[in-house]
Amino acid sequence: MIRSATLPVLSSFPPVTDNSRLRLFSGSANIPLSQEVARYLGMDLGPMVRKRFADGEIYVQIQESIRGCDVYLIQPTCCPVNDHLMELLIMIDACRRASARQITAVLPYYGYARADRKTAGRESITAKLVANLITQAGANRLLAMDLHSAQIQGYFDIPFDHVYGSPVMLDYLISKQLEDIVVVSPDVGGVARARAFAKKLNDAPLAIIDKRRQVHNVAEVMNVIGDVAGKTAILVDDMIDTAGTISEGARILRQQGARQVYACATHAVFSGQAVERLSSGLFEEVIVTNTIPLAEELHFEQLKMLSVANLLGETIWRIHEDTSVSIMFR
């Protein structure tokens, strides 16, 4: 069980027994994370065949009876996003046709979450399209972690549990006993996230980086709102993609006199020049979680990866037992 001042967990839950109606299956996107979740729950991942035909089509077969069972399908829709999304839809359809009682899609990372609204004419709201696909495939419930936009929950007409990776990162930061902390939002849109993070760090002060984004994946940092001089700055975001935004933020924090800069983000997308930027010496540490698997070549000295498996496992158990999920984050 997770033992944490920031994530209270009931210790009375027994491990899942063989005759339980709970079944856990993993897509191919992040099998190590799924295995950790299964170990937390005291069970094995369900047997399943996954393969590709010569033309690239995906084949899925559940290899045990799940009739009348509550099935949880763990599949972050990370790169390659389209392949992993399609595999998830096929897994959901297979479970629906196998007469599962309830199908919960567990997305530690929700791909296409940044396409959550129209910013120009003739654009698709792809986050909504993905919600429609998952629902129409047959999912009865969705569990996701740290959505880029919280309003994506409203795109679903099925129950939606939204959980956060912050307790895991907060526990790690608290263990480091950092002093003179200031929590920094890399943009105005992330202020609510940063404020909640700061509150858990003994109401640490908050700073905001004002930026102007000209094109996708390119941000121009303007100035810092708040006092960071001589302090340990903790940049908080939901994801790091190309690392352009967070690296420019760290650079201006250093220029404004920050003594140390840490980066915290739940999802390590790490595209393009991300590793080069993050390992350039701007950061003391880059703290992420394992919602997305990272290839060995994407690891670097300053990287610290934390596991959210226990948090996801606890959430799955609480959903299965019809107990509160939100209480874990109060």
Q: Within its chain, how far is the Cα of 196 from the centroid?
A: 17
Q: What is the rounded CA–CA span in Å between residue 25 and residue 93?
A: 13
Locate 292 and state its tokens. 């997305």
Domain identity same for 29 and 136:
yes
Residue 118 designated active-site: no
Domain encompassing residue 49:
22-165+309-329
Domain identity same for 138 and 232:
no
Residue 17 lies in a domain: no
Query: Out of 128, 211, 231, 304, which one is annotated catalytic?
Result: 211
Distances in Å between the alpha carbon of 130 and those of 10, 47, 133? 34, 26, 5
Q: CA-based diameter of the chain, in Å?
A: 61
Domain identity same for 132 and 238:
no
Q: What is the rounded CA–CA span in Å between residue 201 and residue 204?
A: 6
Domain identity same for 131 and 225:
no
- How many domains does the chain fold into? 2
Domain identity same for 171 and 90:
no
Question: Can you give the CATH number for the domain in which 229 is found?
Answer: 3.40.50.2020
Q: Nearest to residue 234, comparing CAs of 268, 210, 198? A: 198
Residue 16 lies in a domain: no
Domain identity same for 206 and 235:
yes
Cβ-count burial 153-171 (b if 16+ within 10 Å, e if not): eebbeeebbbbbbbbbbbb
DSSP string across 274-306? HHHHHTSSS-SEEEEETTS---GGG--TTEEEE
Residue 13 lies in a domain: no
Domain identity same for 127 and 117:
yes
- Taking only the tens of pLDDT, the chain with its 330 residues reads 333 444 445 444 545 544 579 999 999 999 999 999 999 999 999 999 999 999 999 999 999 999 999 999 999 999 999 999 999 999 999 999 999 999 999 999 999 999 999 999 999 999 999 999 999 999 999 999 999 999 999 999 999 999 999 999 999 999 999 999 999 999 888 999 999 999 999 999 999 998 766 666 665 657 899 999 999 999 999 999 999 989 999 999 999 999 999 999 999 999 999 999 999 999 999 999 999 999 999 999 999 999 999 999 999 999 999 999 999 987
Domain identity same for 123 and 235:
no
CB 275 within 8 A of CB 294: no
Residue 14 lies in a domain: no
Radius of gyration of the chain (CA): 20
Domain identity same for 237 and 282:
yes
Distances in Å between the alpha carbon of 324 and those of 73, 163, 199? 20, 12, 22
